[in-house]
Structure 1
Amino acid sequence: MYTKNQLCEKIISVYPDIGECGIDLNVEYDQDKKVWVVQLNKDNQTLKTYLEPEDANVCMEGKQCIGLGMQIYQLRDNIKNMRDS
């Protein structure tokens, strides 16, 4: 098992520009829904997505980060587009 900080570090390693372009990242595990909640904040805008533990596990084991990567990519893109519009 891994911590939310380890998952945050993994997300940042896949998308290092998250912190650099002023996008804050927060990760929490939702015990009720049994999913990771990944939240991106930029300025006064917040978007979040839910990441299944299976997708997070595979990525954390270094096998593949496709599930995690696709969701974070879409979330990051959405928050950037919100600011541009």
Structure 2
Amino acid sequence: MYDKHELCKKIAEIYPDIGECGIGIEVDYSDDKNVWIVHLKKGEHELDHHLEIADADRCMDGEQCVGLGLEIAQLKSNIKGQQF
């Protein structure tokens, strides 16, 4: 098993542009929902993504998390003032 720090680090490795564009990232586990909550933030733009356990496991195995990748693209688009 892995903790939120390990998952956060792995997500940053898989999506290196998160750090490049300065998006803040936080990861917490929700016992109520049984999902990881990935919080992305840059300036006034914020986005929460619910990452299912199976998807988080794939991320930890070095595979891209498709849903999270789409959310990151949406946030970057919003930051640039474009619609996604």
Contact 1:55 1:65 in 2 (8 A): no
Letter matched to residue 52 of structure 1: E
- SS, match of residue 32 in structure 1: coil
Aligned to 1:5: 5
Letter matched to residue 65 of structure 1: E
Provide runs of 4+ in structure 1 moved above 6 Å: none
Q: Is 1:80 aligned with 2:69? A: no
Give the share of equivalent positions with the same residue, in percent: 41
Aligned to 1:27: 27
Which structure has greater helix proportion? 1
Aligned to 1:48: 48
Residues paired across the two proteins, number: 81
Aligned to 1:59: 59
Unaligned residue ranges in structure 2 (runs of 5+): none
The Cα offsets for residues 18-60 of structure 1, whole Å up to 9 and x where unpaired, read as: 1221101110001100000011101111011111111212332
TM-align CA RMSD? 1.4
